[in-house]
Structure 1
Amino acid sequence: MTSKPTRLNRLLAMVPYFQAHEGFPISQAMADLGVTERELYADLNLLFMCGLPGGYGGDLIELDFPFYDDPKDLVEVEFRERTVSVIFSAGMDRPLRLTRAEATPLLVALRQLVKTPGLVDSSAVDRAIMKIETAVGARVTGVAAAASVRPVDADTTYATIKGAVRDRRALKLRYYTATSDTTSTRTVDPIAVKVVDNAMYLEAWCRDAEGRRLFRFDRVDEATALDEPSRPPAEPESAAVSPVLSQNPDLPVAVIDIDHASKWILDYYSAEPLDDVTAGGSHEDSVRARLVFGSAEWLTRFLLGFAGDVRLVGIESPDDTASTSADEITAAMAERAAAARARYA
């Protein structure tokens, strides 16, 4: 049994229907559209107020059908025997075509969806993007296709992770840790999938670290479901790890100032803001944050890579015996910068 179409769907179909069935009695239209006399009469009156911008003659849909000063006076038997003619369709008889101005924001939004790993079926989004570009008539310039770039097997990896959470199966992950700039293989017991700051994470018990960890989807190079159940140890909710500083609580922490133009770093590198980012922070031009790092080499390259947009304030160590000091990092940065300049001499 098919469901009755919504009024919007009925209104969209009504103009081309009456154009294709010129001279058909209203009784036949009622049967085809699945409406009563009064529903059809109300729809025809509503169509008179629909059409193109302007709202004048030649803009709004115009129909010829029996009209009553008061709908209460509608004579149902007489109404059924009459016909409806379309005088002006206002374009309702041809498929809608998007303009480039209309298609561009839609394509940007779709590609932004693909950038969030695991959030949507990216193959379906890719097909939608292709259909929109085909409908517009050409590829819309100015919309970066690189926004949807991802590994070829990424969708399979994300599906494996979600399936393991759903089926309560253990996983073997090949995972890139940004703080130490290393890739490792871990066996984990999945707990849940979470969205944190527009990024997808797998919350799981890491058997190697013997603790709860969050694994960011776009840093999982490979995921394999194991033939064993997921058995994370029971922990109180308060013991669950936060998304910030989640990779290794034993690593040192760099306190940094980030220019507002580069505060996307807070999400991408899982840095913990110490200022109110929404309000602009306590500093006029920067946000202060804490960032876990795995080696002095990595932190030096990280700071140099942002060319002054990120500045080192200090270094904290979990055991108060930091093997690397802020002065050493600053000296290493100055040495590398001088060596780079010397190459241009």
Structure 2
Amino acid sequence: MTRPSTRGGSRTSADRLARLLNLVPYLLARPGIEIAEAAGDLGITGRQLREDLELLWVCGLPGYGPGDLIDMAFDGDRVTITYDAGIDRPLRLTQEEALALVVALRMLAETPGVANREAVERALAKIENAAGDLVAAPVEVRLSGDSQRVEALRAAVEGGRALRITYYTPARDETTERVVDPLRVLMVGGRAYVEAWCRRAEAVRLFRADRIDAVTELAEPAVVPPQAQPHDLSGGVFRPSSDLPLITLRIGRGERWITEYYPCERVEADGEQWLVSLRVTDLGWARRFVLGLGPQVTVLAPVELAEQVHAAAVAALDAYATPAPDLAVPRDADPAGTAGSR
């Protein structure tokens, strides 16, 4: 079966917006042009051009009255722009805009898990060619973390191979070895992750690339069970649920950033302080988290966490209060151990 030609017929929002921005100055330079000729120049069908012109009729300056909207006159199959609403020149990027767009596309091209990398590279080549010297500055884009490890993870996903990884879990402060069947490599919050079926946990897990201490591609193929489904990460990696421990803190002004960085279930003002409740993966992580904060933080709940923080703080203070042993050698000592050998 022959696929119908789609030359210039992309109806994506981005394609159409770019076409509309250039359509008015194009028609201004060619008053009375035939619609068929204009459609041929623009690489679209006559029907698409007519639909674009109908859309332009309701576009214009704020106020959107009769004197604000783009206007045009038709004479049979010919069209002439009679009011351009200020869109009288083709779209041009400033140097800063062109450079920002190139950097963003280069970053996207380096991002693991991008489905159509070739399309990104084609778009990047077109913009770099059109911008010319505007983007001639030596800009190199690299992902944070171990790029070789990310490439190894990506190769395993594309090759359908199982992996043996050594992984550090900061929440439990432990390192484990696991065999996983990778599903995909992706970027979330600027960090690379591999999502995989973990045979040890018998569930889908998300492993951060920079916490994988070692990775070995196995000869056996990845075997992903039917129930293994990728997670919806549109809201971020951490997904608080009702079965996770809930902690409540009283924080001062200097720690209010917590409410912006972590998903909180409750934030209430208590005079100059705030009462904050949030879910955590486990109390061990919460203990280390609270100990790393300033003195304006008090644990209100649960009692177990308050006791753990108190005990750890007392132990740390005791360690500082204990004088270091005096390792200096007394002047009358015999360092060679020869006393009495004479």
Aligned residue number for residue 285 of structure 1: 275
2:217 is paired with a residue whose SS is: strand
In structure 2, relative to structure 1, the CA distance for the partners of 1:60 and 1:234 (3 Å cut) is closer
CA contact (8 A) 2:153 2:194 kept: no
Determine which of 151, 163, 167 is the counterpart of 1:171: 163
Aligned residue number for residue 89 of structure 2: 93
1:153 is paired with a residue whose SS is: helix
CA contact (8 A) 2:265 2:278 kept: no
In structure 2, relative to structure 1, the CA distance for the partners of 1:236 and 1:58 (3 Å cut) is closer
Is 1:15 the counterpart of 2:24? The answer is yes
Aligned counterparts of 1:231 and 1:30: Cα–Cα separation in 2 = 51
In structure 2, relative to structure 1, the CA distance for the partners of 1:28 and 1:97 (3 Å cut) is closer
Amino acid at match of 1:51: G
Is 1:34 the counterpart of 2:24? The answer is no
Task: In structure 1, list runs of 5 or more residues that go unmatched.
Answer: 67-78, 139-147, 238-242, 246-252, 268-276, 317-323, 340-345
Distance apart, 1:331 and its partner CA: 1.4
Distance apart, 1:174 and its partner CA: 3.1
Determine which of 208, 212, 227 is the counterpart of 1:217: 208
Determine which of 299, 308, 315 is the counterpart of 1:332: 315
Aligned residue number for residue 232 of structure 2: none
CA contact (8 A) 1:255 1:288 kept: yes
Aligned counterparts of 1:190 and 1:40: Cα–Cα separation in 2 = 49
CA contact (8 A) 1:118 1:217 kept: no
CA RMSD of aligned residues (A): 5.7
Distance apart, 1:175 and its partner CA: 1.8
Aligned counterparts of 2:214 and 2:303: Cα–Cα separation in 1 = 35
Distance apart, 1:230 and its partner CA: 3.6
CA contact (8 A) 2:198 2:204 kept: yes
In structure 2, relative to structure 1, the CA distance for the partners of 1:288 and 1:30 (3 Å cut) is closer
1:278 is paired with a residue whose SS is: strand
CA contact (8 A) 2:24 2:88 kept: yes
Aligned residue number for residue 294 of structure 2: 307
Aligned counterparts of 2:226 and 2:35: Cα–Cα separation in 1 = 68
Distance apart, 1:35 and its partner CA: 1.5
TM-score under structure 2 length normalisation: 0.51
Determine which of 146, 165, 179 is the counterpart of 1:188: 179
Aligned counterparts of 1:265 and 1:41: Cα–Cα separation in 2 = 49
Amino acid at match of 2:38: A
Amino acid at match of 1:227: A
CA contact (8 A) 1:26 1:84 kept: no
Is 1:2 the counterpart of 2:6? The answer is yes
Q: Please give the residue correspondences for 1:99-178 in structure 2 after superposition, counting only pairs within 5 Å.
A: 149-153=144-148, 155-160=150-155, 162-163=157-158, 167=160, 169-178=161-170
Distance apart, 1:162 and its partner CA: 3.9
Amino acid at match of 2:218: L
Aligned counterparts of 1:52 and 1:329: Cα–Cα separation in 2 = 64
TM-score under structure 1 length normalisation: 0.50
Task: In structure 2, list runs of 5 or more residues that go unmatched.
Answer: 136-142, 230-237, 323-342
Determine which of 221, 226, 229 is the counterpart of 2:221: 229
Aligned counterparts of 2:227 and 2:71: Cα–Cα separation in 1 = 68
Distance apart, 1:211 and its partner CA: 5.5
CA contact (8 A) 2:24 2:81 kept: no
Amino acid at match of 1:153: Q
- Sequence identity percentage: 23
Q: How many residues align?
A: 265
In structure 2, relative to structure 1, the CA distance for the partners of 1:9 and 1:232 (3 Å cut) is closer
Question: Residue by residue, what CA displacement relative to the aligned partner does 1:263-310 show, whole Å, maximum 9, x if unpaired?
Answer: 57868xxxxxxxxx43449x960226555477xxx9876543212466
Amino acid at match of 2:45: G
In structure 2, relative to structure 1, the CA distance for the partners of 1:231 and 1:14 (3 Å cut) is closer
In structure 2, relative to structure 1, the CA distance for the partners of 1:96 and 1:160 (3 Å cut) is same
CA contact (8 A) 1:19 1:85 kept: yes
In structure 2, relative to structure 1, the CA distance for the partners of 1:156 and 1:300 (3 Å cut) is same
Aligned residue number for residue 335 of structure 2: none
Aligned counterparts of 1:59 and 1:235: Cα–Cα separation in 2 = 57
Distance apart, 1:49 and its partner CA: 3.6
CA contact (8 A) 2:165 2:213 kept: yes
Aligned counterparts of 1:236 and 1:57: Cα–Cα separation in 2 = 57
2:163 is paired with a residue whose SS is: strand
